[in-house]
Amino acid sequence: MTQPIDTAKLDAFMNKIVQDGGAAASAVLVALGDRLGLYKALARGGPATPAELAQRAECAERYVREWLNSQAAGGYVTYDAKSGRYTLPAEQAFALADESSPALVAGMFQLFEAMWAALPRLEKVFKSGEGIPWGEHHPCLFVGTERFFRPGYAANLISSWLPALEGVVPKLERGIRVADVGCGLGASTILMAQAYPKSTFVGFDSHAGSIELARQRARAAGVADRVTFEVAKATDFPGTFDLVAIFDALHDMEDPVGTARHVRRALAHDGTFMVIEPNAGDRPEDNHNPIGRMFYSASTCLCVPHSLSQGGPALGAQAGDARLRDVIVSGGGFGKLRRAAQTPFNVVLEAKV
């Protein structure tokens, strides 16, 4: 029997759909603006007509005009009708055009590209229950992931996350061995190496393409003498370390418990295991908010498929403290675990034997 429709609720939902649809459609244009350097050109040269911006960015004026009006409709740029010029306000430029900004969001839109590119395979694995290995996604995923997480690491890792760990910063200043497991393109590894020149760092990742890019970034950053990147699984990377860190990757892994156990074996006496994960509540309803929506969506398309592809438990990006404690303490054998720091997006866990 058909339920009666509350027209007021329907109108409210349709209004939400229009907003979400506009955001989804304009996400393509945000990615284009990043790829083509349109935001950077508008920020660099100041207010511009479509023709002026097209000339700066070496694009066709007709396309740029349509792009600018979409951006203005979404509040990403402002428009002055008298002069016919569009402006990228300083705040928007900080988020869209400044690669060194802690608020840079360009990587997020590259993640969306990878999610859309995976749509045909996602349709199949939803039916079969199989997975999609990380390395089989569109290449924009690897660069996008680094650009998505790097601003948060740049803003917090050296200034607050590492200092929140018991006794770790003095050790780093004196010189210790550090492993960054699941390092991707090495943003977190390189940041630590730049801050603590007396310590040595090894980044491990199972994706060979990411490791090669990480090596290139280490050379460009001038830290290749103190940073090495190696292809290895999280459950069998070699060496003994005073600090082992996993940044936003434990929930993706095929064997999180096996990883925690191996980290415990790899730690030197009085070593520290630092785990950075998305900040999430233990109950699904705790995460039914805008941040949770984004993480659950990315997790559905990227994190869960990778873990399932390797026969893993698919913790998901919103695992929560209770499940992480089960992995690190109950499964991994660590005796102590605490929340050392947090942001709206991340939680920093400190584990000790």
Phi-psi region of 202 (alpha: psi -120 to 50; beta: other; left: phi over 0): beta
Helix (H, G, I), strand (E, B) or coil at 117: helix
Pick the closest to residue 190 from 215, 155, 209, 160 (CA basis).
Answer: 215
- What's the 3-state SS for 318-348? CCCHHHHHHHHHHHCCCCEEEEEEECCCEEE
3-class SS at 223?
coil
**Helix axes 106-117 and 7-36, enclosed angle (nearest 10):** 110
Amino acid at 238: P
Dihedral of alpha carbons 276, 213, 303, 103, sign? positive
Q: Tens of pLDDT along 152-178?
A: 999 999 999 999 999 999 999 999 999
* pLDDT bracket for residue 3 (50, 70, 90): confident
- Rounded to the nearest 10 degrees, the angle between the axes of helix 187-195 and helix 140-156 is 30
Q: Quick check: 94 pLDDT over 70?
A: yes
Domains of the chain from N-terminus onward? 7-96 (1.10.10.10), 112-352 (3.40.50.150)
Mean pLDDT, rounded, for 208-234 = 97
Its pTM stands at: 0.92
pLDDT of 246 > 70? The answer is: yes
**Tens digits of per-residue pLDDT, 121-133?**
999 999 999 999 9
Q: Tokens in use for 340?
A: 């050392």
Given this model, what pLDDT does residue 232 score? 97
Q: What is the mean pLDDT of residues 242-268?
A: 97
pLDDT for the residue numbered 2: 72
d(CA 301, CA 112) in angstroms, rounded, equals: 10
pLDDT higher than 90, residue 254: yes
At 194, is the pLDDT very low, low, confident or very high (cuts 50, 70, 90)? very high
- Each residue's pLDDT tens digit, 52-82: 999 999 999 999 999 999 999 999 999 999 9
Report, as an integer, the average pLDDT of 32-37: 98
Taking 60 as the threshold, does the pLDDT of residue 1 lie above it? no
Q: Specify whether the CB–CB gap between 180 and 146 falls below 8 A.
A: no
pLDDT in tens, 319-332: 999 999 999 999 99
Tally of residues, the chain: 353
Residue keyed to tokens 């349109």: 38
Summarize pLDDT for 329-353 with one digit per residue, the tens: 999 999 999 999 999 999 999 999 9
Task: Enter the DSSP assignment of 232.
Answer: -
